[in-house]
Every structure is written in C-alpha cells, then in structure tokens.
Amino acid sequence: MEFANGHMSGHYTIIPNGVDLEHFSPDVLPIDEFCDGKVNILFVGRLEKRKGLNYLLEAYRQAKREVPNCRLIVVGPGTRLRNKYEKHIMRKGIRDVVFVGFAGYDELPRYYKTADIFCAPATRGESFGIILLEAMAMGKPIVASNIAGYASVVNHG
C-alpha cells in the first residue's frame, strides 16, 4: 500500500497472490534419492545475494552440529555465486549440501514434498514470496526472514 500511495494516492484493495492447490498438492511423490531418513531442509530460489543463501549456509553449518542427520537441498538456477557458495562449503567443511540447479514448475512440488522444513532467508527485495505459499500448500513448516514481503504472508508461531 505504501508503495502504491507513494506514486498515486487513492484507496486500494490488495488482492493477494495464490498458488494452484491441485499442482502443489501433498499427494505428489517425494524424490527417492532424498528419502533416506535424513531431515531435509529446502531452499528454493535464484542464487542471488539478496536471497540470503549465505546466511542459510551458516545457520545450516551450526544446525548440523546439533542435528547431524540433516541435509540442505538448494533448488534454483545458478549464477556466478554458485561457485562461491560451493567453495565456502568446501572451505568450512559443510557436509550434505546438494545443489540441484534449476527445477521446472512441474518438478517443484516433489522437492517441497521431500522437504521436512522449508527455509526462505531473503534479506530484501521480496514483494510477496510465492515460495512461501507453495510450501504452505504442501503443508511444510517454514523458517523465513522477517522482511516486509514475507511478514504479510507468514506469522510467528
């Protein structure tokens, strides 16, 4: 609302985004290679700095000490940052991080189904966060950063 009023004053009704609940249905099959008993933590997004993957990698490194039987699955198209993240993982000795790369719309529900926890650590620049709705539609618990675009979708609790 603030953004719209900053450009043109008036009365606005916000129509929230949605997702196809038939497509993002918990009835899909999980991805077999990740069904080995490990706790699967999922990140979905482009590998851009503002998406906060660097913070998630550090949090995962710390969590791995407490929950060694976990894995981080990173789904999203790579950029030049992928090499940087992979080097960071090697340097810090972080185990069980899987970079999947791009996953098409038809594949995404299976990644959400496979996940035990969904993480959205973006630091800025998210107007809404459709990935949060996708994870919710799949019945997944969400850990998300407290930024304006996410705060309108996820409540603490």
Percentage of the chain modeled with pLDDT above 70: 94
* Predicted confidence (pLDDT) per residue in 124-141, tens digit: 877 778 999 999 999 999
Q: How many CB atoms lie within 10 A of CB 139?
A: 11
What is the rounded CA–CA span in Å between residue 110 and residue 104? 11
- Copy the structure tokens of residue 41: 């933590």
What is the rounded CA–CA span in Å between residue 20 and residue 112? 14
Domains of the chain: 18-151 (3.40.50.2000)
The pTM assigned to this predicted structure is 0.88
110, with CB counted inside 10 A (0-12, 13-18, 19+), is: middle
Mean pLDDT over 16-32 rounds to 90
Residues 6 or more apart in contact with residue 13 via CB below 8 angstroms: none
